[in-house]
Amino acid sequence: MSEEKRKKRVAVIGGGLVGALNACYFSRRKYKVDVYEMRSDIRKAEVVRGRSINLALSVRGREALKRVEMEDEVINKGIRMYSRMIHDRDGTLRVIPYGRKDQYIMSVDRRHLNEVLLTAAEKNPDITLHFEHKLVNCDFNTGEIVFKRSDGTIVKDVVDAIIGCDGAFSAVRNQIMKNTLFNYQQEYIPHGYMELNMPSTPSDECAMAINHLHIWARNEYMMIALPNQDKSFTLTLFMPFKIYDSIKTEDDLIDFFDKNFQDSIPLIGEKELKEMYFKSKALPLISIKCSPYHIGDKALIMGDAAHAIVPFYGQGMNCGFEDCLVLDDLLDKHKDDIGAAFEEYTKVRTVDAHAICDLSMYNYIEMRQSVNSRLFLLRKKVDNF
């Protein structure tokens, strides 16, 4: 690699899942990388507020982790889910495998994953992490980026390329929008999500079979559960906001759960369920399609910044990880000509990202409704958890 390329500076905006992984990819190519993250360092935080506690990691994401030698460290702390376990209203359990007997997706802890990726990035002398730096402006002619710190001070930097990995409400994308012929489409679905917890049993066992993604599919809405390392499950309730709004009292809640998710009540605990539900707030789900993803050789958006997708296909993070792999291949192909790689990236990635947005929307119907249809010939009754 030439000396000139060694000196190229890239700013990755956002130190979430995709930003942290992307930094490892760029440093592998001998770029100097600065990661600018709005939040404080999550590795030092007691509680991290935000989205889902655990996520399903699939082959798409694992391939991207593998190239930067991060796969083993991540999957060592993951839990294999070989199938969906459907909880019918009458308590019947049905298993629908994801594929062959040896095929599975993995439940991984979001915070652990983000921490592992940040630590891997930090070990690299070519990567500098800057926390509490919120991007407020960028100039795609000069490469200048401007940040506001939590104490109100302004920090500026000038880089060769700006990589926006700053999530669904991306500030980099907002800037790109003002600077080019940019197509943008967003959709909030009428359903929101709320996370609840099912603890391990008093004898420290899992309350349900561990190696499955559990689904209570009720056609118009659903609840799912993914296992955690500490033998608890994180439950996610997905339903229309109007149903959340109709549950006003503790009795309303227990009536609703009794009718729809009865077998889960003793496993969550009635008192705990009431406490968690009324302390939480249902959060919205957004789907975003846009194009182009780049401006010349100066900026590129990746991950949720480019394609926020509803979570029903379990592919948002996986797809964002794959973005890093695709860009890496294109930088190889174009011998690190950033402009050429960015241009081809937009060309090849837009179609795939838009397809995954549509598939994710469709899969909500599959998860909450189609798994109840007679067409699921693999229906298999199991006797206990």
Chain residues in the site for ligand FAD (CB under 6 A): 13-19, 36-39, 51-52, 55-56, 134-135, 165-167, 171, 193, 236, 303-305, 311, 314-318, 320
Residue 107 backbone phi and psi in degrees, to 5:
-90, 120
Least distance to ligand FAD, CB of residue 309, Å:
7
* Cβ 200 to ligand FAD shortest distance, Å: 21
Please report how close the Cβ of residue 89 comes to ligand FAD at its closest, in angstroms: 24
CB of 251 to ligand FAD, least distance (A): 28
Whichever of 114 and 264 has its CB closer to ligand FAD, that residue is 114
Please identify, using beta-carbon distances, which residue of 96 and 286 lies nearer to ligand FAD: 286
Instruction: Quote the least distance from Cβ 328 to ligand FAD, whole Å.
Output: 16
- C-beta separation of 34 from 11 below 8 A: yes
User: How many beta carbons lie within 10 A of that of residue 235, not counting itself?
Assistant: 22
Structure token digits, residue 318: 């996986």
Of residues 27 and 236, the one with the C-beta less far from ligand FAD: 236
Sign of CA dihedral 361, 362, 363, 368: positive
Question: Would you say 51 or 80 has its CB closer to ligand FAD?
Answer: 51
| Shortest reach from residue 227's CB to ligand FAD, in Å | 13
Smallest separation, CB 262 to ligand FAD (Å): 24
Choose between 95 and 189: whose C-beta lies nearer to ligand FAD.
189
- The closest alpha carbon to 265, from 79, 109, 87, belongs to 87
Closer CB to ligand FAD, residue 86 or residue 336? 86
Torsion from C-alpha of 42, 47, 50, 53, nearest 10 degrees: 100
DSSP letter for each residue of 224-250: EEEE-TTS-EEEEEEEEHHHHHH--SH
Element (H, E) at 67: helix 59-67
Q: Angle at CA 295, nearest 5°, toward 16 and 5? A: 75
- Output the six-digit token pair for 71: 């796969």
Closest residue by Cα to residue 138 from 159, 119, 123, 152:
159
The nearer residue to ligand FAD, 316 or 336, going by C-beta atoms, is 316
Closest by CA to 233, choosing from 256, 269, 207, 253, is: 207
